[in-house]
Amino acid sequence: MPSYIGVPLGPVQRAVEFWHLYRTHTRDLPGRIHALLDETRDMDSKISRLIGAPVAGLKMLEIGPGQQQLQLAYFGRNNEVMGIDLDVLLPVLSFRGCVHMLAQNGWLRTCKTVGRKLLGIDARIRAEVTAQLGLGALPELPVLRMDASRMQFPDDHFDVVFSKDVFEHLSDPEGAIREISRVLKPGGTMFVRLHLFTCDSGGHDTRIFSGRRGGLPFWAHLRPELGQQVRSNAYLNRLRLDDWVRLFESRMPGCRVIALCNAPPPDREELAKLRSAGQLSNYSDEELLSVGVDACWRKPVSPLTARCPGPAPAKP
């Protein structure tokens, strides 16, 4: 499976990317963490509605928590949580940890992680998350290095499997969906939120994320004549909305795949101009204006499990 950062860029482009990512991670940090926690609370609310009860006392798995582990920290307050990630994560900077990460993640991913830690970005993020969640300290929660399409957990193991902004980076999303279905308990719930490739920021050019896109045209990654201007910072499977609907429904009958239509107002204004010029005619407004897509599913309970017969009554 390709690494999250498995996209070749030249040294100058990579330096520019690092600068944009630094600005993104450090600008208005309290506001950024507040917005991310609001997204996690929205996930919490939707999972709660799926299971019909508060999200508490559950065995939960996060696919792709990343270095910051914000969702793990949030749900870990009231649940037994763990994560899996393709990359080695490095909670604390150490020589042995860096060597291990270098061997597994490659030099580029390691440099990004070490750079963030040396600049104090990760420490500031953890402190802000701790403060906003009202915790004394962030717990160190277990994260295993594991391929989501080949999980090493037994069948029917978790009450909830969730993921945020990861599935667009998986080279085998169908395998991951199959594995989620396997490791969920009957009656268990999956909630996946993914960043849709066909939205304006779906090409993962860090200039858009940092709010300094310069002259980069809107939806350049979908317009062949402009593709050379895009600098994606990550591997992307490039799946469209219909592809996701088909994948989830084929493995999880009854799964709801919901396009959020949550693009900012400037995207809508630019799309109107492009439509009038005959551009992007092969794409629907829904897939162009949905930054996020939610996939929600509750694993059916088999009739045998649902009966749960008690002991036979005693004979008189």
Predicted local distance difference test score (pLDDT) of residue 31: 93
Which of 48, 308, 70, 305 minimizes the C-alpha distance to 159? Answer: 48
Which of 276, 85, 291, 128 minimizes the C-alpha distance to 201? Answer: 291
Predicted local distance difference test score (pLDDT) of residue 24: 62
Predicted local distance difference test score (pLDDT) of residue 249: 96
The predicted model scores a pTM of: 0.83
Tokens coding 229:
């201007």
Tell me how far apart the alpha carbons of residues 241 and 290 are, in angstroms, rounded to a whole number.
9
Predicted local distance difference test score (pLDDT) of residue 199: 98
Provide the Cα torsion 190, 140, 39, 24; round to 10°.
-130
Predicted local distance difference test score (pLDDT) of residue 122: 77
Tell me how far apart the alpha carbons of residues 16 and 100 are, in angstroms, rounded to a whole number.
27
Q: 58 φ, ψ to 5°? A: -110, 155
- Topology of domain 11-299, per CATH? Rossmann fold (3.40.50)
pLDDT along the chain (316 residues), means of 10: 50 58 69 94 96 96 88 95 80 63 59 67 84 87 93 98 96 97 97 98 89 90 94 91 97 96 95 96 97 97 56 44
Task: Please name the residue that has the structure tokens 């090493």.
Answer: 152
Predicted local distance difference test score (pLDDT) of residue 124: 85
Helix/strand/coil (H/E/C) assignment for every residue in the chain = CCCCCCCCCCHHHHHHHHHHHHHHHHCCHHHHHHHHHHHHHHHHHHHHHHHCCCCCCCEEEEECCCCCCHHHHHHHCCCEEEEEECCCCCCCCCHHHHHHHHHHHCHHHHHHHHHHHHCCHHHHHHHHHHHHHCCCCCCCCCEEECCCCCCCCCCCCEEEEEEECCHHHCCCHHHHHHHHHHHEEEEEEEEEEEECCCCHHHHCEHHHHCCCCCCCCCCHHHCHHHHHHCCECCCCCCCCHHHHHHHHHHHCCCCEEEECCCCCHHHHHHHHHHHHCCCCCCCCHHHHCCCEEEEEEECCCCHHHHHCCCCCCCCC
Provide the Cα torsion 207, 213, 214, 215; round to 10°.
110
Domain boundaries, the chain: 11-299
Predicted local distance difference test score (pLDDT) of residue 288: 98
56, 82, 189 from 51: Cα distances, Å:
11, 19, 7
How many other CB atoms are there within 10 angstroms of residue 297's CB atom? 25
User: Do the bridges between strand 256-259 and strand 292-298 make them parallel or antiparallel, or are there none, so unpaired?
Assistant: antiparallel
Task: Please name the residue that has the structure tokens 């407004």.
Answer: 285
**CB of 259 within 8 A of CB of 290?**
yes
Predicted local distance difference test score (pLDDT) of residue 302: 75
Task: Please name the residue that has the structure tokens 């277990």.
Answer: 142
